[in-house]
Structure 1
Amino acid sequence: MDETDRRRIEALLISGKKLAAVKQYREATGASLAESKRAVEALQPTVAPAQPTPSTPSTPITDSNLNSQIVSLLHKGERIEAVKLYKSHAGVRLKEAKQAVDRIGEQHGIPITSGSGCLGLILVVIVGIEMLTAAFV
């Protein structure tokens, strides 16, 4: 691997594109996927990833506006979307977002059905996929 390849890999890591960095390393060296992953991970402590810039919505969302959006989603039966919205704006973990959305629903008299417990799993999968997509894009 030459210096140009190393700089490309470091640039990919800085921009948070670990998967692309592993792919670049693998193409440059012919190493296996596992070896490439280990090599790129060894570079990570020396390369600080860029901090994501918080996205600012076109119209600032106030707490009351956020609550009304969540209530609207809950009335439409879109609980998962409500949890995702809360999570993205509050910057909390999935479990905390789910609990907060449930509280908001209860405060507005919207019945929250617990069902068979699949919703939590679905939420985890959806958020996990979004996190992986964001991490590798």
Structure 2
Amino acid sequence: MLSSQNQTLFSFSYGGTWSSPTVVNADRENQLNPAVQVDNQGNVFVGWNTGGPVDWQGDPPSLFDGSQIWVAKLNGTAWVARQVTNFATNRFVSFPVGSMKASTVQMVWIEGNSPKPYTIKYTSFTF
């Protein structure tokens, strides 16, 4: 179901025809900065961060306060989501470039909050 919130949506292309978009993770948070990765068995994963209260003040903008990193795996026609972090200072999720082993997710993200330095975080896990 589409809503007025920012959402992470997914659609397939079948020889030039796109499927209807589906919501990857339906919750009350804004879904931001999606990234897609496919493993060597064809499994599709989508990672994103949730956004906190919408406020563009500060460095970084407090839009990202309360951010969490999530990943979802396409299980046939439905998405199964899993929370990766529960820290309040996660930002800008991405997947490393290149193929990965079956159902093994690798993710990187930036963690921190000004004026403290930002750090790059990495995790790898089987989904």
TM normalised by structure 2 equals 0.25
Pick the structure with greater CA Rg.
1
More strand by share: 2
More helix by share: 1
TM normalised by structure 1 equals 0.24
